Structure 1
Amino acid sequence: MLVIGRVFRVAVAACAVAAFAGCSSDDPPAPDTFSVDAMRNALLKAADIGPTWTAPGESAAPNQLVSICGADTPPVAVPGSPAIVSAPLSDEGKEGVQSLTQHALVYEDAVSAATALASLRTVADACAPSVSRPAKTGDREEPAYTETASTTPLEEGDWIGFVTARNKQYDKAHPATADIAVAALARGNVVLLDQYAIYRLGRSDASANPQFSSDWQKLVRTTLNRIG
């Protein structure tokens, strides 16, 4: 079991066929193809992470993705027309909350998946490096905060993509921090989009979540290993 502690190019090859000629035996093999069922089985379940993790009673619609840039930006639009498999999980403690939102976008072919990954990367590259927002009131009450974001390439075995990491520092009158990682990786006909977030209450220092980087990487790698 993978235990996360409590809160304390895609390359596409084409063969040009001329008269009396065909693809040679030296051509690259066809890219991997994964089924919807395979991806559904690969996404992590609560029991795969730890005893305090559960599937939330209420969650966003399965075809609603996560926000890559954070702040007030809406969830990113689904690129293309994939079949979508989702699995949200959370761990709520007295000192904060952790969540893992998993989306597998299953396309008809590798070209569509590569195009989708490029679309998501375009969104990530446009994220503002720093955004400050005033306090919110009403149904979604939230203290004022400053959120920073950075996007870097990500490669795990045969999976290639990027990760956007964000950090929220809340108003000192409401000490809390949040770290969010949105990883997008493509292989064959699939794009895996994972968001891991951890919110800690009563903390106002940027190093409040020292295991954040290693934890989101463990979660992503575990899923990729299950896919094979």
Structure 2
Amino acid sequence: MCAVVAFAGCSSDDSPDPDTTITVDTMRNALLKPADVGPTWKSPTESAAPNQLVSICGGDTAPASIPGSPQLVSAPLSDEGTEGVQSLTQHALVYEDAVSAATALASLRTIADACPPSISQPAKSGEREEPAYKETASTSPLEEGSWLGFVTVRNKQYDAAHPATADVAVVALARSNVVLVDQYAIYRLGKSGASANPQFSSDWPKLVGTTVNRISPS
């Protein structure tokens, strides 16, 4: 499967004050559209429940609830091929003030810090059929320009009878009154014992960097 092919956007010559309030319209315009990422990317017809984010820890853990009462802007994207699937789930949580955003980020970080470093899941049958797998997770601080937060990176290895891998990066960054939550995931069939995509570790930072570099508070 092809890696992400295009990352448009660049920083402004000015350096906006990170404490300036960021509007909902600013975040809506900053989130990536299919054409920003690549020609095979699309907006899916179905999306997650409006009061949920993404699962930070993976495995059977539920999606994180949205902390507080922000205005929510979402833009899910996907790229489905014969050898696998890529997806980018984007959520912008726009709060009334910076204190609320910082509190929300701390809440999400608490979830990430509690993620087990490794889990093994048995095979599932029924509507959500899935082979057995082992998944590892690690969380580290992340800084992107004037945005601060963390990233949780997960790798999933399926059993040898169903060779496939999945890599996931969940990023949560805060600046001023906004928390940006992005999940980039790539699932590849027929691969085992390695990361799903050699470019994974560079692709997710490019996606996040493109979004935050577009934001100039009004």
Please indicate, yes or no, whether the TM-score normalized by the shorter chain is above 0.5. Answer: yes
Q: Distance in 2 between matches of 1:207 and 1:116?
A: 31
Q: Distance in 2 between matches of 1:184 and 1:79?
A: 12
Q: Which amino acid aligns with 2:153?
A: A
Contact 2:167 2:195 in 1 (8 A): no
1:4 aligns with 2:4: yes
Deviations 1:58-78 (A, max 9, x none): 121233210000000000111
Q: Distance in 2 between matches of 1:168 and 1:186?
A: 27
1:52 aligns with 2:40: yes
Q: Which amino acid aligns with 2:174?
A: A
Deviations 1:154-185 (A, max 9, x none): 00110000000000000110000000000000
Residue of structure 1 equivalent to 2:56: 68
2:164 maps to which of 169, 173, 176: 176
Residue of structure 2 equivalent to 1:207: 195
Contact 1:180 1:198 in 2 (8 A): yes
1:98 aligns with 2:62: no
Q: Which amino acid aligns with 2:194?
A: A
Contact 1:109 1:189 in 2 (8 A): yes
Residue of structure 2 equivalent to 1:131: 119
Shift of 1:207: 3.4
Q: Distance in 1 between matches of 2:127 and 2:20?
A: 45
Q: Which amino acid aligns with 1:195?
A: Q
What is the TM-score of this pair, normalised by structure 1? 0.87
SS at match of 1:227: coil
Residue of structure 1 equivalent to 2:102: 114
Q: 1:166 to 1:176 in 2, by over 3 A?
A: same
Deviations 1:172-204 (A, max 9, x none): 100000000000000000000000000000000
1:219 maps to which of 207, 211, 215: 207
| Poorly superposed stretches of 4+, deviation over 2 Å | none
SS at match of 2:62: coil
Shift of 1:208: 3.5
**Over aligned residues, Cα RMSD in angstroms?**
1.5
Contact 2:167 2:196 in 1 (8 A): no
Structure 1: gaps of 5 or more residues: 7-28
Structure 2: gaps of 5 or more residues: 7-16
Contact 2:139 2:151 in 1 (8 A): yes
2:68 maps to which of 80, 83, 105: 80
SS at match of 1:205: coil
What is the TM-score of this pair, normalised by structure 2? 0.91
Q: How many aligned residue pairs are there? A: 204
Q: Which has the higher contact order (CA 8 A, sep 6+)?
A: 2
1:161 aligns with 2:135: no
Q: Distance in 2 between matches of 1:72 and 1:158?
A: 33
Q: Distance in 1 between matches of 2:38 and 2:209?
A: 16
Contact 1:62 1:85 in 2 (8 A): no
Q: Distance in 2 between matches of 1:208 and 1:140?
A: 21
Shift of 1:30: 8.0
Q: Rg larger in 1 or in 2? A: 1
Deviations 1:65-99 (A, max 9, x none): 10000000000111111111000000001100000
Shift of 1:5: 4.3
1:193 aligns with 2:181: yes
SS at match of 1:127: coil
Q: Distance in 1 between matches of 2:50 and 2:29?
A: 16
